[in-house]
Amino acid sequence: MSDAPTTPEAAHPAGPDGVPEATRPSAPDVAPETVRSTGEPERHVDRDWRRVSPKYIVVEIVGSIIGAGVLIAGMLIAYFLGNQQWALWVAIAVGVIALITIAFEPRRVRSIAYRLREDDLVFRRGIMFQRQVAVPYGRMQLVDITRGPVARAMGLADLKFVTAAAATAVTVPGLPAEEADRLRDELVALAETRRAGL
């Protein structure tokens, strides 16, 4: 039997890179929030909110300008042709309100977001009065994509989820067209899976 002293290097042999195996950090475990109780990774779960495209600000501003322009034009016609003094004041008020609305559009669009969770989709919007709606995948009866002329020119689309309860119908606006198509197919597959009880 050898009486040679045991060194730390002998007790913990080094690996190929010269680092003792006992001191080598172990591989990180998968985050618990991404693992099911069965050990399988979760799918269709967002840790963070997904926001709509910044291009949607342009769509909303153009819509506000068109709507305000039509009302102001109608009031000015009533003022000049019908000699209606009140119509001028209404036109001024509509213009002021339109300017205030346009100024808040970027912040309002940034407040629109959605999350895909394991069993439902959560949608939120609003600045002062924020609304959040959770739509279970198994309750979705129709997933519809709409594209207005301005949104289509910007490459955007709106995704609408229709359920049996009208109050839970949700429209996610301002999605890139490719993302809207992909999300529609994903949600349809999830809805069929949930309704089948799989």
pLDDT the model gives residue 169: 73
Closest to 161 measured CA to CA, from 108, 112, 122, 117 = 122
Residue 148 near residue 27, CB atoms below 8 Å? no
**Euclidean distance between CA atoms 51 and 174, whole angstroms:** 9
**Euclidean distance between CA atoms 50 and 46, whole angstroms:** 8
Inter-axis angle of helices 85-110 and 56-82, to 10 degrees? 180
User: For every one of its 198 residues, what pLDDT tens digit does the chain have, with 9 covering 90 and above?
Assistant: 445 454 544 444 555 555 555 444 444 443 334 434 444 344 557 778 999 999 999 999 999 999 999 999 999 999 998 888 899 999 999 999 999 999 999 999 999 999 998 888 999 999 888 889 888 888 888 888 999 999 999 999 999 988 876 666 789 999 999 999 999 999 988 888 877 665
Which CATH code is given to the segment(s) 115-195? 2.30.29
pLDDT the model gives residue 38: 42
* 173's tokens: 């606006």
Domain boundaries, the chain: 56-109, 115-195
Find all residues with CB under 8 Å of 6, minimum gap 6, and list them: none
Residue 112 near residue 124, CB atoms below 8 Å? yes
pLDDT the model gives residue 18: 55
